Amino acid sequence: MSSQDYSKSFPRLGYGGAQIIKARASYLGTETLVWDDHLSLLGSAEPYFGSIHHLKRQLAETEIYGRGGAAFPLSRKIEAYQRFSGNLVIAANGTESEFLSRKDAALLTRHPHLVIDGLTILASSLGAATGHIHLKYANAAVASVVASALAERHGFDPVKIEISISNPSVGYPSGVESAVISAVDGSGGKPIYLPDRPIEKGIKRRPTLVSNVETLAQLALLARFGAKWYSGIGTDAEFGTRLLTITNSDGRSAVVEVEAGLNVFELLEALAINLQKTSSVLLGGYFGRLVPPGQVKDLIISAPALKGMGLGLGAGVIAVSSCCPITETSEIIRYLASQSSGQCGPCFNGLPELALLWDTLSRPGNITTVVDEVNRVCALVMGRGGCAMPDGAVILSKSSLRYFESELDIHRQGGCSYSGINSYLVPTDTRKGIR
């Protein structure tokens, strides 16, 4: 297949994978596209190295929203870091610390060269001399694929690129921007205090731009084929495609590339996920919200559209549960509490308290004062951590109180609508045992 054909087709990142919905959703291919495959499929990225004006022109026509979780517009990030030029360091974040996310590992396994292209295009365009690819400690196979890819293209990139690995003892916060900087610097890999953006004193005390690996792969496609091509897929709400990790209520998951603007209900239906037996859908991961299945028909795959509804895709996680949504919230808050780096008082004190309160809510009984207490502790925790993890617990708590008020009423009256169904939303070793 020539790059000419590729440029007309959907899937993009999912090239070579089986289609789920024709021209709208596809699985990813699984075999690594090595250097020769990559070059014959896409051609060399060299013409786009050092081309900041080209990059900005394309991004002015079609925005890429960051795929690590915050959905920050890439054009604004580039704008913020442009003034640092030669002193700048770029880190590609492939930590993927979100437990239910698999898309970054799947992307790096399939398209290591596209991610490296994106990193090199961005670094050379901004005048950065060094690039880092930061990976999850637990996935040695991915690190090996990336290392082989770098060896294959030795001497090709005008930027020095190094691989680094996250600290296994840090857990969930290891994917935070500042934790990546700390890890690359050999300073432990916990979040550090870097409240201001752009980050002026990051890796080696130099200005540091951190970007998710999928964002970089998307950037590499945009630079190659241009904004007109890129926006040939999607809707006015958002153009292009994105990777999602979809997890069914039996715990099985799949990484898919979907067209922006696709309806979530339509996607889940095409994946044969039965919403009849679903109690809640986790949208965006532990940093997102559990939404009632009845709302799924209103959801479309688009960062700005979901933001308008107070929702988000986070790191691209959609997970379906058939368990009690109050219990699920409780389990996720308990997990987040277990993941605190123990650095900030409001987090390492507040999250266990919040977890205990949710545990009480998950058990049938008189819970009115407990709900008030959840709101009070949420107010104490919000915005007071060095990273945003505690905020995630607050956001989930608040939304679950709102969305599942009727289930809370049932608990208040001594019942529960969902007894005896397994949860797959949190790692088993932090689960307290499902009733």
Partner 1 sequence: MARMPKLRINPIACNGHGMCAELLPELIDLDDWGYPIIKTSEIPLNLLDMAKRAERICPTLAVMILEN
Interface ranges with partner 1 (CB under 8 A) = 191-193, 195, 343-347, 349-350, 353, 377, 380, 384-386
Provide, rounded to whole angstroms, the least separation between the CB of residue 432 and partner 1: 23
SS3 166: coil
Q: How would you classify the pairing of strands 280-283 and 317-321?
A: antiparallel
Provide, rounded to whole angstroms, the least separation between the CB of residue 381 and partner 1: 9
Dist CA 288 CA 290 (whole Å) = 7
Identity of the residue, 235 or 349, whose beta carbon is nearer to partner 1 in the bound complex: 349
**Alpha helix ranges (H) inside 231-290:** 264-270
Identity of the residue, 294 or 383, whose beta carbon is nearer to partner 1 in the bound complex: 383
Identity of the residue, 192 or 305, whose beta carbon is nearer to partner 1 in the bound complex: 192
| Residues 238, 305 contacting (CB under 8 angstroms) | yes
| Residues 260, 234 contacting (CB under 8 angstroms) | yes
Reference 339, options 230, 160, 204, 179; nearest CA is: 179
| Residues 217, 114 contacting (CB under 8 angstroms) | yes
Provide, rounded to whole angstroms, the least separation between the CB of residue 337 and partner 1: 14
Identity of the residue, 385 or 392, whose beta carbon is nearer to partner 1 in the bound complex: 385
Identity of the residue, 86 or 195, whose beta carbon is nearer to partner 1 in the bound complex: 195
- Structure-block tokens of residue 194: 């870097």
Q: For residue 195, count CB atoms less than 10 angstroms from its CB and return exposed for 0-12, middle for 13-18, buried for 19 or more.
A: exposed
| Residue 271 neighbours by CB distance under 10 Å | 17
Provide, rounded to whole angstroms, the least separation between the CB of residue 346 and partner 1: 6
Length of the chain: 435
Residues with Cβ within 8 Å of 234's Cβ and at least 6 positions away in sequence, in order, are 240, 241, 259, 260, 261
Identity of the residue, 149 or 192, whose beta carbon is nearer to partner 1 in the bound complex: 192
Provide, rounded to whole angstroms, the least separation between the CB of residue 175 and partner 1: 17
Provide, rounded to whole angstroms, the least separation between the CB of residue 188 and partner 1: 12
Provide, rounded to whole angstroms, the least separation between the CB of residue 287 and partner 1: 18
Identity of the residue, 380 or 434, whose beta carbon is nearer to partner 1 in the bound complex: 380
Provide, rounded to whole angstroms, the least separation between the CB of residue 193 and partner 1: 5
Provide, rounded to whole angstroms, the least separation between the CB of residue 170 and partner 1: 13
Provide, rounded to whole angstroms, the least separation between the CB of residue 97 and partner 1: 18
Identity of the residue, 44 or 343, whose beta carbon is nearer to partner 1 in the bound complex: 343
| Residues 115, 155 contacting (CB under 8 angstroms) | no
Q: Where are the beta strands (DSSP E) in 43-117?
A: 89-94
Strand order in the sheet with 280-283: 19-21, 25-27, 253-259, 241-247, 317-321, 280-283, 289-291
Identity of the residue, 271 or 371, whose beta carbon is nearer to partner 1 in the bound complex: 371
Strand order in the sheet with 130-135: 160-165, 130-135, 89-94, 208-212
Dist CA 365 CA 192 (whole Å) = 41
Tokens 């060399």 sit on residue: 44
| Residue 383 neighbours by CB distance under 10 Å | 10
Dist CA 188 CA 184 (whole Å) = 9
Identity of the residue, 61 or 353, whose beta carbon is nearer to partner 1 in the bound complex: 353
Identity of the residue, 46 or 353, whose beta carbon is nearer to partner 1 in the bound complex: 353
Provide, rounded to whole angstroms, the least separation between the CB of residue 347 and partner 1: 8
